[in-house]
Amino acid sequence: MVATYPPRTTSPLGWATRLLACPSCRGALRERGGHLGCAGCAKMYAVEGGTPQLREAGDARTDVVRDFYTAAPFPGYPPKDSLGSLRARAGRSEFAKLLDRAIPGDACIVEVGCGTGQMSLFLATANRVVIGADLTRASLELGASAARRFGVERVLFVETDLRRSGLREGAFDVVYSSGVLHHTPDPRASFAALARLARPGGIVVLGLYNAWARIPHRVRRAIGRMTGLKYIPLDPVLRDRAAEPARREAWLRDQYMHPEEHRHTTREVQRWFRECGIEYLRTYPDSLFGGEPLEGDALFQPADDDWAFENWASQVGWMKTLAHEGGLWVTIGRRADSTPALSPSESIGRKLA
């Protein structure tokens, strides 16, 4: 008789504890009777429905964002969803395909701000392990239940706050965060926390609203707000979803009613990268003029050029090409092999702590 293959992991927390850390003292966590206990400060953290709750009390602005997403987890799952259709939807995005192609088959990945976890599930193939981290329990529950339904074993959802995160610093091959940092109170500080999660040589993939590409949307939104969101001109996503009220409402909330929103430029993000010892690789879409379409694992290769004027002009061009979906662009960088010196303010802060 043929032996059945043993499941790859008996408990998802087994492998994942090594990728987590105590949010208050950064100590190692151990699994103790259904809880996670810190080896350093002996704090205990609950694990509800397989989702560890590694969160300390946050600030008021963060809580507003959490409440916003608790009321309506974004983007949610359509009824009768399957792993196949999730992959088919992701396959429509050239970026998702390139990302999947560029990430090695045995990478440790963290998605910061995973929402309901579609990208985490999409990336959790081969021998990869994925941690999907988010503030909002309601979203994570949807993600975790989808993971169970689809039989995706190598993903763990964690409830945590980026600024005091329960994620192990320097442990991840790929740190992915898209459409998240611009909803945090201080995106620059959030990025510093994000960058520390990558191992030396690890990749950071950061998607943010572009200050230029978002202009058309802001005009749209201004008009919309004047009419109490009754009349919103020229939003192609709303138009596409006219027949699906739930999905239309989700987009409306996310794009028109969000309590916290910032916008950024390529220059600004490149500065953040420098400050955190992240070597800039490229943007997606390409900020070069007439660049060849990316192929194979090119997404994590350095761009041929990085010229400030070209970057600026591309951003202006994105007003046309990216604005219809909210003006999100992605910057990719690699953490330098040697850890950068801590900035003076940071090391003082740590001493005080």
Partner 1 sequence: MKILGISAHYHDSAAALLVDGMPVAAVQEERISRRKNDAAFPVGAIEYCLNQAGLEPEELDAVVFYEKPMLKFERILTMALREWPRTFSSFPHAMKSTLGEKLWVKGLIKSWLGVPSDKILFSEHHRSHAAAAMLTAPTRDAAILTADGVGEWAALTVGRGKRAGAKVEVDLLREIRFPHSLGMLYSTFTAFLGFPVNEGEYKVMGLASYGSPRFADRVREIVERTEDGGFRLDMRYFEYHTNAKRSFSNRLIDVFGPPRAPWEPLDPTSTEGRRFADVASSVQHVLEEILVEMCTRLRKELDVPDLCLGGGVALNGVCNARILRESGFERVFVPPAPGDAGCALGAALLADRVFFGNPDRDFPDHPYWGPALDPQELFRVAREDGLPAEELPNDDVVLDRVVRELQAGKIVGWMDGRTEFGPRALGNRSILSAPHTAEQRDRLNKSIKFREEFRPFAPAVPTEHASTYFELPPGGHRLGRFMSGVFPVRPEHRDRLAAVTHVDGTARLQTVDRDVSPRFHALLEAYGRKSGLPVLLNTSFNLAGEPIVNRAVEGYSTFRRCAIDMLVAGRCVVTKRADRTAEIDSGAPEEEAGLNAKEEAAE
Please give the Cα distance from 327 to 218 (Å, whole number): 10
- Span near partner 1 by CB under 8 A; candidates 121-129, 135-143, 248-256, 286-294: 121-129
CB count in 10 Å sphere of residue 243: 7
Sequential DSSP letters for 144-174: HHHHHHHT--SEEEEEEBTTB-SB-TT-EEE
Q: Is the CB of 169 or the CB of 325 nearer to partner 1? A: 169
150 burial via Cβ count (<10 Å: 0-12, 13-18, 19+): middle
Q: At what angle are helices 137-150 and 83-91 packed, to 10 degrees?
A: 110
Give how far Cα 30 sits from Cα of 19, 42, 43, 110, 172, Å.
11, 10, 11, 20, 19
Q: Which stretch binds partner 1 (CB under 8 A): 169-177, 183-191, 273-281, 316-324?
A: 169-177
Q: Residue 344, interface with partner 1 (CB under 8 A)? A: no
Contact 204, 198 (CB under 8 A): yes
Sites for partner 1 among residues 234-263 (CB under 8 A) = none
- Minimum CB–partner distance for residue 234 and partner 1 (Å): 23
Cα angle 9, 11, 16 (rounded to 5 degrees) comes to: 85
158 part of the interface to partner 1, by CB under 8 A: no
Instruction: Strands of 81-147 (E only): list them.
Output: 108-112, 129-134
**For residue 185, what is the DSSP state?**
S
Which C-beta is closer to partner 1: that of 339 or that of 343? 339
Binder of partner 1 out of 11, 44, 71, 85 (CB under 8 A) = 85
| Nearest partner of 120 among 143, 94, 93, judged by Cα | 143
- Binding flag, residue 169, partner 1 (CB under 8 A): yes
Q: Which of 32, 33, 60, 151 binds partner 1 (CB under 8 A)?
A: 151
Q: How far is the CB of 291 from partner 1 (least distance, A)?
A: 19
278 interacts with partner 1 by CB under 8 A: no
Residue 348 as a binder of partner 1 (CB under 8 A): the answer is: no
Does residue 105 bind partner 1 (CB under 8 A)? yes
Q: Which of 168, 183, 221, 263 binds partner 1 (CB under 8 A)?
A: 168
Applying CB under 8 A, the residues found at the interface with partner 1 are 2-5, 15-19, 21, 26-28, 40, 78, 80-85, 87-89, 91-92, 97, 101, 104-108, 125-127, 129, 150-152, 168-171, 296, 339, 350-351
